[in-house]
Amino acid sequence: MAPFDIHDKPACLANILVLDLDGSVSLPGMITRLDLRSYEEKVRYYAGFGDMAALERAIEEEAGAPRIVFLGSGDFHHISYLLIKHMPQTVQVIVFDNHPDNMFFPAGIHCGSWVYHASKLPNVSNIAVFGIASRDIAGPDLFQNRFSVIKAGKVKYYCLAPVSKLAKLLGGPGIEDISASQKSMAEIVERHVRNNGSPVYLSIDKDVLAHSVVGATWDQGKMREDELLTCIGTIAPKVIAADVAGDISSYNYRSFMKRLMRRLDGYEPVPGPLEEARLRHGDINMKIVSLLGKRRGRC
């Protein structure tokens, strides 16, 4: 793919919004940014329903619009739930993520559980998560998945890692290993979107990319950059709105509970410096914008 030059497509920028929760989003030019830094501690990683409602009020006027929204670190991926909730029409949600984001979480909504909540929204026909290769589908973590929505056909996993017999038993055809498929990921995504019919809300967490492509805040998947971009380009004509998470930032919680939970999840704040990774993220972000904007005839 030829390198993307921002100056070629200035009109795309009018359709981009950064929900600036952590200062991480790297995009060149005059992009609209909504300063939400005061919410970072409250909603990062997980948020109680009260804090989610407060954030929802703060972004209400921005949600539901046909554009590309950047959320910052994958620690904010649950903000997708709010954006999808305000979509004015029925959508199928296509997610690229190294994690199912459909796990059990008792204290509100978090970046690993938002898919479950989004699948319950009346304007969501179904959700498919592509590129899962994390330990969430193996070992003891398997039991934290919300199998009810998988069994009901509301949520489907397309994994890039072996799916155990037990996972197959619990999830049935809703959990599929496509790592050895003869078809490319783009063909599989395209077929899924076509079969489901509804317009697409696209949600990308860049932790789906291999670490050799770009560093993200959480453990990362196996996808190549060109593979992800081809998938996006293939379904772009059906995409009516999108969000992007997975930019890199480092944050140490003031909340003891959040520090404890992150440690239990096996993570520590990302060590700096982050400038080089942010430049790479900026490059990938603009390629995503270019693909989505071009196909929508906005650029």
What are the residues binding Mn ion (CB under 5 A)?
Answer: 74, 77, 97, 101, 205
Sequence-separated (6 or more) residues with CB below 8 Å from residue 36: 19, 20, 21, 55, 58, 59
Q: How far is the CB of 75 from Mn ion (least distance, A)?
A: 9
Q: How far is the CB of 245 from Mn ion (least distance, A)?
A: 6
Q: Which is nearer to Mn ion, 45 or 147 (CB)?
A: 45
The type of residue at 95 is V
3-state secondary structure of 162: coil
Q: How far apart are the C-alpha atoms of 278 and 244, rounded to whole Å?
A: 14
β 175-177/124-132 pair status: unpaired
CA 39 to chain centre: 19
Q: How far is the CB of 157 from Mn ion (least distance, A)?
A: 13
Q: How far apart are the C-alpha atoms of 28 and 236, rounded to whole Å?
A: 22
Q: Which is nearer to Mn ion, 39 or 96 (CB)?
A: 96
Q: Which is nearer to Mn ion, 110 or 238 (CB)?
A: 110
- List for the chain the helix, strand, coil content (%; round to 5): 40, 20, 35
Q: Which is nearer to Mn ion, 13 or 43 (CB)?
A: 43
b/e 82-101 (16+ beta carbons within 10 angstroms → b): bbbbbbeeebbbbbbbbbbb
Q: Which is nearer to Mn ion, 200 or 216 (CB)?
A: 216
Q: Which is nearer to Mn ion, 13 or 175 (CB)?
A: 175
Q: How far is the CB of 262 from Mn ion (least distance, A)?
A: 15
- What's the token pair of residue 71? 């959320």
Q: How far is the CB of 122 from Mn ion (least distance, A)?
A: 23
Q: Which is nearer to Mn ion, 12 or 96 (CB)?
A: 96
Q: How far is the CB of 179 from Mn ion (least distance, A)?
A: 19
CA distances, 136 to each of 96, 233, 274 (Å): 15, 28, 27
Q: How far is the CB of 117 from Mn ion (least distance, A)?
A: 13
Closest alpha carbon to 84 in 118, 110, 108, 59: 118
3-state secondary structure of 206: helix
